[in-house]
Amino acid sequence: MSKELIDAFNEYLTINKGLSKNSISAYLNDITQFLDFSKKPLLKRDNSDIIEFLSQFENKRTLNRKLSSINRFYDFAKELDFSNIDLKIQSAKIENHLPIYLEHNYIMDKIGDIDIKSWIDLRDRALLLFLYATGVRVSEAVETKIDDIDGAWLRVRFAKGEKERVVPIAKSALIAIELYLRERNDNSPYLFINYKKDKLSRISMFKITKKYLGVSPHILRHSYATALILGGADLRVVQELLGHSSLLTTQIYTHIQKPHLKDTINKYHPLSKKQLYS
């Protein structure tokens, strides 16, 4: 029944609404993802099911896009009398501010202060360097396996939207990971595990970054992107490394770049030299 509903939704978007192929594809992908999230039939789901589904998305813009697709689907179902339920959840408020990030020296100083007494401490240090060196989402870090590291490269297999990407890993992070793995005594395929030798959870990763750096893992992702932009990296390269499907998502970092560019002009451009006005 769910497949027939999605087919009808496709026809509705195409014929009734006359949307573009790209828009229709985006709506169908979101609804299919929502369908696969639970075994409960689509027309028997409620607001709690939607909220549970949306809670896995950290980026508010992505969350709002998924929510928009879900709202449109249930509007369609009600309009065509497939259902009389009225599911409407307000979109997440997106504040217009710069992403929070940590300075490189602060991160490295805090990581350097970790007192290494056990393999757990080695894991914590390796995890912090891994997050900062790769910019991966916490959901991707959780699913990373040891075999996903090939030399100095990380294959992100469980990326958002199931888009695989490859990112380089800094040498310092690789060394920390090697030291940590050397002290582990288990057969788990996952890169980061807990003391029970089970896969480390998102909550545990949050607790680790909060303990040592006072922030969530997502702030390390911002710090990674910010360091690249301020270092002069091309925005499209950063987009690929972060796994953003749209350049619009990456462009938030251009606001960070502007003061840096102004300082560069003031320092190096001849028209900014004081002697020109003497």
* pLDDT 10s digits, 173-227: 999 999 999 999 999 999 999 999 999 999 999 999 999 999 999 999 999 998 8
Report the Cα–Cα distance between both ends of the chain, in Å, rounded: 80
> Which of 124-133, 142-151, 242-251 comes out lowest in average pLDDT?
242-251
**Of the given ranges (12-16, 101-105, 162-166, 230-234), which has the lowest mean pLDDT?**
162-166
Average pLDDT, the chain: 84
Q: Are 200 and 193 in contact (CB under 8 A)?
A: yes
| Token pair for 130 | 């891994």
Contact 241, 162 (CB under 8 A): no
* pLDDT at 256 (0 to 100): 61
Looking at residue 162, the DSSP 8-state letter turns out to be: G
Query: What pTM was computed for the model?
Result: 0.61
- The residues near 69 (Cβ < 8 Å, ≥ 6 apart) are 26, 27, 30, 31, 34
Q: In the structure, what pLDDT confidence band is assigned to residue 264 with cuts at 50, 70 and 90?
A: low
165-168 vs 153-156, strand pairing mode:
antiparallel
| Residues with active-site annotation | 137, 160, 218, 221, 244, 253
Helix axes 202-213, 119-134, angle to 10 degrees: 90
Rounded distance between C-alpha atoms, residue 229 and residue 237, angstroms: 10
Contacts of 163 (CB under 8 A, 6+ apart): 243, 245
pLDDT band at residue 274 using 50, 70 and 90 as cut-offs: low
- Residue with tokens 């953003």, as numbered in its chain: 244
d(CA 131, CA 70): 32
Task: Check residue 97 and give its pLDDT.
Answer: 53
- Which has more pLDDT, 254 or 59? 59
